[in-house]
Structure 1
């Protein structure tokens, strides 16, 4: 493992007028590490995720990302075109509602193929073959390659969104409540799939979730947020098995059923 973080976050704050979205958040994310950001609705976790993924510009603070050439770049100093290219190639973003991360009126294969074209692939046969291979990896039958996502179940849409994000071999994936809104049995399959893919591909990931069981299954490290502030952080098992803050203790006792 490299001795340089993949992502360096320093004193990130986001304010909406007088209201705090998140405040003074700092951490490093290492290659191959999965970080869970947990907390109740309104805790600031999604605001923070969107600031990290450049979907929102923070009020203050800095986020630096280590590019493939090893250079650390301040995301706020990148051009809009550079940030868009990063999002299409080296990063992925998995939305809670897959319709927000898919083009619902084009085929499953085209949804995956678009990301390949963003990194320069132009050979139709290669694109279709790779798309079909990735559908198989996320447990979607290849004979559905020409079907549109609108004809898929919620769980299949979410798996398709994952394939679309991972086909370009990104190094960092952002996930916003990836299992939210799915039936429990579908959640379990999706979590097993995600865990396997993250391990197989050596991905770094930042996952926002209110479900501490999801955090335990997927993440190495965890940050607990309340009222826009990080109130506790550490190795996931340590935080869940020996929470130090009263709020974390309450979360664990009331939500976590393991």
Structure 2
């Protein structure tokens, strides 16, 4: 197996007297989708913020390997290097699409900005790629000059995905990407994410409380509770034969719903 694209060991983080992360480790390999699941307050979103460089842990380290396979300690990188990483090799899909979009910029401009950040300069090529990506995420290309605030919530989320993936990042962080959307919209969005992740061979680190979404998208599953990893493994194995009582409770609650 290849070296992990992203690897963390011994992560510890406390907010006052609350332990948010307690000796957490994780590895994500190229092209792999890993889901982190757990109830609210389990530490999963905090872990995502640490792994994406938004929070600094009290202990432990996060290592990222670049396209040449060279390791870099994430929290020793400067702010400029982190911003460059987020524009190129990485992407982030927020639960609220408005946090990942420029609401005063057209749909095509949102996608085009990401291309310009990696060096694209030809207006015709940028607009053509933006048009193609709107099609790929099932947005009518006639809406290319419309502002995102005129879109539905599901369309805004699909636009955020187009903006994130147009530069073909190697790793994408997704924080509850289907949260707050209608069930039918969620299903279409999950199918879209699954297809694009497979087609582009990108690694995805997905935070979700939705077991069904995790089963559909993830190769591996990590279950968190009170800042600790209580179970992890291949998704089907964990969900079909959960070993930890908390995982059993999560799975049974979904079956009973």
TM bucket, shorter chain = over 0.9
Q: Which moved more, 1:18-27 or 1:216-225?
A: 18-27
CA contact under 8 A between 2:62 and 2:74: conserved in structure 1? yes
Judge conservation of contact 2:43–2:224 (CA < 8 Å) in 1: yes
**Equivalent residue, structure 1, for 2:183:** 184
Unaligned runs of 5+ in 2: none
TM-score (norm: length of structure 2): 0.98
The equivalences for 1:44-193 within 5 A come to: 44-193=43-192
- Structure-2 separation of matches of 1:80 and 1:159: 28
- CA-to-aligned-CA distance 1:76-108 (integer Å, 9 cap, x gap): 111110000111111110000000110111100
The corresponding residue for 1:250 is 249
> Is the 1:105–1:148 Cα contact (8 Å) retained in structure 2?
yes
Partner of 1:211: 210
TM-score in terms of structure 1 length: 0.98
Separation (CA, whole Å) in 2 of partners of 1:257 and 1:72? 45
Shift of 1:257: 6.5
Gaps of 5+ in 1: none
> Offset at 1:255?
2.1
Off by >6 Å, runs of 4+ in structure 1? none
Shift of 1:4: 1.1
Aligned-residue offset at 1:256: 4.4
Aligned length: 257
- Structure 1: distance between partners of 2:181 and 2:151: 13
